[in-house]
Amino acid sequence: MNEEDPIESVKSIDSEESIELEESIALEEAEDSIESVESTTSNLPLFNHLERPKLHLILEGAIMASNKPLTIDQLALLFPEQARPDHNEIIEALTFISEACEQRGFELKQVASGFRFQIKQSLAPWVGRLWEEKPQRYTRALLETLALIAYRQPITRGEIEDVRGVSVSSNIVRTLQEREWIRVVGHRDVPGRPAMFATTRHFLDYFNLENLNDLPSLSEIRDLEEAASSLEHQIDILDNIKQSAQTNSAESEEESKEIAAETLFAELDKMEAELPVNFQDLIKKQKYESPNSDTMNISPEKSEIPTEEPSKTLIDKPIETSIDKPIKTLTDDLT
């Protein structure tokens, strides 16, 4: 029977004690590190109710500086983990920012990719003048193709052609893919395995949609078409009324000119009829109109001379006598 060596026994005891000592030291170090972390965390700014305005500023600045929409998760990662606000606090802050933008020229918009600032649509006619290039106009065929993909996705090219009744140009599909509005999401399990198209997140962002449920319903589209048709009809009526009014105004103006010309000619004829035939008639008319006037009488007839003795004037004297008389005598006669 082998007896246990006392020396080996002592070594075993020492090793066990050293292990326990190391474990004790490690435990103390762990406790110290935890206390250190807790003290550090307590010094970090927590976004409570009193510091919420600072949270608004941080979120607003981040969304403004980003060149793409930011999700709530991305906004939450802006803060340290120990001082990170929860989703409800972020949503509440974003709601406050959105309400604050009501009196501004831009708005906080939630799209499929997240939140972003954008100019209000009502200001587009003025803000659009900053860019000299005009926005690209798309053909009716391209818009119809995009609408079918949006409402019936996933859809193949052949199915689009069946609905439209015409073939889909390769340029249309290529343009939509270059704009990142559509993408291939698979292939139909039929002979030829045609590609199936669907819209992208960029499509939703471009048209200010959060998801496909925000697309207008087909009934709304029909109402819009009817409203547009009614509006076009009203515009045609207004154009006809305006054109008729302009025509009537032009005709009335011509008639007024003709009436004015006829009136003018009648007045001229009347004035011409009232004019004296000769100079003698004019003299007689003046005499009858003012018989007591002191106008010069140049008529040689005796019967037309007034019976009363006229005042002596230079013209009543014979011309020869007036010339022969001295200047003084003429002056006396006049006085």
In the predicted model, is pLDDT for residue 137 greater than 50? yes
In the predicted model, is pLDDT for residue 125 greater than 50? yes
**pLDDT value of position 221:** 65
Same domain, 67 and 110: yes
Could you tell me how many residues make up the chain? 335
**pLDDT value of position 266:** 73
Domain boundary among 184, 215, 246: 215
Domain boundary among 102, 126, 150: 126
Answer yes or no: is 100 within a domain: yes
| DSSP code per residue over 14-32 | HHHHHHHHHHHHHHHHHHH
Burial of 20 (0-12, 13-18, 19+ CB in 10 A): exposed
Strands 195-199 vs 182-187: parallel, antiparallel or unpaired: antiparallel
Same domain, 180 and 195: yes
Same domain, 103 and 158: no
pTM listed for this prediction: 0.49
Same domain, 284 and 262: no
Answer yes or no: is 40 within a domain: no
In the predicted model, is pLDDT for residue 86 greater than 60? yes
Strands 155-156 vs 106-111: parallel, antiparallel or unpaired: unpaired
Domain boundary among 71, 93, 126: 126
Answer yes or no: is 114 within a domain: yes
The span from the CA of 169 to the CA of 152, in Å, is 19
User: What CATH number has the domain bearing residue 74?
Assistant: 1.10.10.10
Same domain, 286 and 329: yes
**pLDDT value of position 256:** 67
Q: Which residue has the higher pLDDT, 286 or 86?
A: 86
Same domain, 252 and 188: no
Answer yes or no: is 163 within a domain: yes
Domain containing 111 equals 49-126
Give CA separation, 247 vs 5, 234, 250, 258, in Å. 132, 20, 5, 17
Same domain, 234 and 211: no
Same domain, 55 and 119: yes
Q: How many domains does the chain have?
A: 4
Query: Tens of pLDDT along 253-296?
Result: 666 666 666 776 677 666 666 655 555 655 665 655 555 544 44
Same domain, 225 and 196: no
Answer yes or no: is 251 within a domain: yes
pLDDT band at 59 (very low <50, low <70, confident <90, very high): very high
Answer yes or no: is 266 within a domain: yes
Answer yes or no: is 44 within a domain: no
C-beta of residue 179 within 8 angstroms of C-beta of residue 196 = no
Same domain, 120 and 53: yes
Same domain, 211 and 246: no
Answer yes or no: is 41 within a domain: no
Same domain, 271 and 283: no
